[in-house]
Structure 1
């Protein structure tokens, strides 16, 4: 027969959780007494007992048993046969012989068979404290080992399913303590070879980068975190990688170095392409500045000479044309330079940029309302140009007393600048960003084009739409917003 007292949920395997015990003994009265005494020792125990050894395998399989205690000499089966039954279902289950048969030969046989422990029955209550301690020790140890094995397996799976090389070296780099298999595909060398020669990865490093890399290794051994970019062999070519090395310090001494290495070839290629693009734009701007302004200066000089020799309305028309050409050249230069990709992004407080931009323009009777208590990653100077141009555009088209509002979009995807002046006609809302488009006879048509270039250089997007109060609204999206109170690097 089987009796199960107050079974509880044993889904957790932490050492403080309940322990489910199966007691096997051919004497039911004794089995009940053991149950009462063990449950009195700690509320962690729930005890199920049986007088039928043939039930053991089924109970262990179905009831989530954590430990089996068994008598040795029973009519139908010995305790060691019960051990075989239990271990056939759960090979590692703690098993304790609790028996009044205490010969050395039986104890030796039990140990050889693999029992976890051996306790002699006595007529004193202290034996249950001893038995409870042994049960708790063996079960908690098994659970801790299971947690450790599970954690190790999870860490192994994590390490083997990352694109980065994860590694640990001794403090002086003379011994490899751990590295994942990604090393072999990234460096083209075997882990076995690296274990034998822990600095063999330097053989795959570009000769021009070896000195910088070894110096970084020395600095890390001295206790300083290091980040370094360098090139390694990749077939007939070279690829760029970046390594982060962190010294592990115990008692003020570096005991090992842990870190990771990842492939940054695509990023470096983008940086090179970006640099080349920015260089082309800068050359274009220089050509515009030099080759157009020189003849313009000549024309302006001869105009002054002509004014001294004669008085004509035609000369004033020429002067206006030259002034407009100067304005166009200046804005073309700005447009070219603002088309360069942003490479210097920093955390900035949006409110500060807005207020600074507002103070940089002649806003007259216009009003600014801004509620943007956020930080964003941006080029502070170029973002200021966005706001200055949007503010001037609002005043130019909305009137001297226009109200301009800056706020955060409802979905936190970015921010907006709107005014209560004249709305932008729906069929013009995309056209207004085209270079040279303007509805103002005195305008150049570059202002909003410059804004769009700066916005896109940040990786954002801008669109024009109707304002909530009937005016124009510009929404800039793709911006990562962070609470102003949050500390950022």
Structure 2
């Protein structure tokens, strides 16, 4: 257990007997007090210069230099050092003069009562207060040093936003407003907020005052020609009773991020337009070609026409997979909890591999975009059927400790040297394969924030594990 630190006291009194008596009483009252004594102001000044004194206790009526005169000398170099006048007589004039000189406390000695308990409490209280204040000052100075080199705005407001308690120079850089102006009226930063965003910012301020942390993005009109996007984060600080005592936060410039998001949105829109065009412009002539080939084949059949029909069907599959890969990317719709068994069974049914078999040995709820995840498992099932044959058996279940799920087959499996490459776009071991199916699986799994890996199944086939 950490013990309380000692308190070094200097007691100045020209009366030898009283000096020894009070010192003994104080030591008996608190073992934290380490007391140095002096019989004059001159000796007291010497000890102050030589020793790390935390507090001075001094009598007023001393020859040559009085206690108030000594106090004035101490205050020249030590304006915050606790200094208590403890005297057996006193007048209003002495009390007034000592207060004007900066005395910490003024105590009249009672000859009848032992005042050591009172003095010890006062001395320790004042010293601890000074130490705490100095620690706060050191902390604040470190914060100011850090805040001075950051491009973010650090701020502290009162719970009602009517008092600015701290802010760094970053405010002017972002809001184009002098800090002195903000201190004079702490809510004038709202004048720089874009009109369409001001109500949203005020609502966030009201919620923070009630104790709810806030994150709000809004536009700042820094000048007639400059508009920024900023993000403000606010955390209410509360006391033991849950009352908000201050609002602490930071504001940072997020203009670059907003511009990137806008560019990304425009890119996605162009990509969707492109994929729609590709789908229309390629599918139509393919459908015409397929229809005419079917008519030309007639009832007799022709080997060359059959090959052409298969090629057209393969081109249609390739277009579908490329468009899927382009449209899905890392984008998901709404996520909800869906049983894994439901996902994998639906995927298996969609593939329609009539001679194959699926066994589900376990299920867990998955927070997912069910349509996207179903598509991923369709590709896993299709991969098993294409490599293991139409009679392949698939097994789906849950990994130990519910760390994820798996699908494995009893087909030929994938050699270890090939496992790291199966998710690469274009990688395939089949002559008519596109190499996109498992790449789509990885994209969809990654978009969910999960991982997929390929290993060997219990019967030597391929085993796909989704680590959720």
Q: TM-score, normalised by structure 1?
A: 0.68
Change in CA separation of 1:114 and 1:320 when aligned onto 2, cut-off 3 Å:
closer
Who is 1:486 aligned against? none
Which of 210, 216, 219 is residue 200 of structure 2 equivalent to?
Answer: 216
1:264 matches 2:254: yes
Which of 287, 305, 328 is residue 338 of structure 1 equivalent to?
Answer: 328
Which of 230, 235, 250 is residue 241 of structure 1 equivalent to?
Answer: 230
Q: CA deviation at 1:99?
A: 3.1
Change in CA separation of 1:333 and 1:353 when aligned onto 2, cut-off 3 Å:
farther
Q: CA deviation at 1:282?
A: 1.5
Q: CA deviation at 1:125?
A: 2.4
**Within-5 A mapping of 1:1-16:** 11=5
Which of 297, 302, 312 is residue 287 of structure 2 equivalent to?
Answer: 297
Q: Is the 8 A contact 2:215 2:233 kept in 1?
A: yes
Separation in 1 of the partners of 2:251 and 2:133? 31
Separation in 2 of the partners of 1:327 and 1:10? 78
SS at match of 2:427: coil
Change in CA separation of 1:134 and 1:231 when aligned onto 2, cut-off 3 Å:
closer
Change in CA separation of 1:315 and 1:178 when aligned onto 2, cut-off 3 Å:
same
Separation in 2 of the partners of 1:302 and 1:462? 43
**Within-5 A mapping of 1:87-98:** 90-98=78-86
Larger deviation, residues 130-139 vs 76-85 = 76-85
Q: CA deviation at 1:38?
A: 3.0
1:48 matches 2:35: yes
SS at match of 1:332: helix
Q: Is the 8 A contact 1:28 1:51 kept in 2?
A: no
Q: CA deviation at 1:241?
A: 2.6
Separation in 2 of the partners of 1:81 and 1:186? 52
SS at match of 1:48: strand
Separation in 1 of the partners of 2:404 and 2:285? 43
Q: CA deviation at 1:447?
A: 0.7
Who is 1:357 aligned against? 343
1:376-428 Cα deviation digits (max 9, x unpaired): 8x76643554455345545654683455676599xxxx979685865533543
Separation in 2 of the partners of 1:195 and 1:106? 40
Q: CA deviation at 1:431?
A: 3.9
Separation in 1 of the partners of 2:90 and 2:448? 82
Q: Is the 8 A contact 2:234 2:250 kept in 1?
A: yes
Separation in 2 of the partners of 1:392 and 1:32? 97
**Within-5 A mapping of 1:177-196:** 179-192=167-180
Who is 1:21 aligned against? 9
Question: Root-mean-square deviation (CA), in Å?
Answer: 5.1
SS at match of 1:432: coil
Separation in 1 of the partners of 2:202 and 2:99? 53
Separation in 2 of the partners of 1:185 and 1:467? 60
Which of 429, 440, 444 is residue 439 of structure 1 equivalent to?
Answer: 429
Q: CA deviation at 1:180?
A: 3.5
Larger deviation, residues 54-63 vs 297-306 = 54-63
Separation in 1 of the partners of 2:43 and 2:456? 79
SS at match of 2:57: strand
Q: CA deviation at 1:337?
A: 1.0
1:51-93 Cα deviation digits (max 9, x unpaired): 4556645755676543221234557865456546765764322
Q: CA deviation at 1:223?
A: 5.6
> Any stretches of 5+ residues in structure 2 without a counterpart?
209-213, 239-243, 349-355
Q: TM-score, normalised by structure 2?
A: 0.71
1:436-489 Cα deviation digits (max 9, x unpaired): 43224564322112224445667888676678997656688xx9x8xxxxxxxx
Separation in 2 of the partners of 1:192 and 1:105? 41
Change in CA separation of 1:443 and 1:220 when aligned onto 2, cut-off 3 Å:
closer
Change in CA separation of 1:431 and 1:272 when aligned onto 2, cut-off 3 Å:
same
1:287 matches 2:280: no
SS at match of 2:10: strand
> Any stretches of 5+ residues in structure 1 without a counterpart?
1-7, 12-17, 482-489
1:233-284 Cα deviation digits (max 9, x unpaired): 58966443345689999xxxx9999865422222222212322332232223
Change in CA separation of 1:438 and 1:152 when aligned onto 2, cut-off 3 Å:
closer
Q: Tell me the number of residue pairs that the alignment of Structure 1 and Structure 2 aligns.
A: 447
Change in CA separation of 1:167 and 1:112 when aligned onto 2, cut-off 3 Å:
closer
1:294-340 Cα deviation digits (max 9, x unpaired): 1222233334434556444555444433433332222222122123x
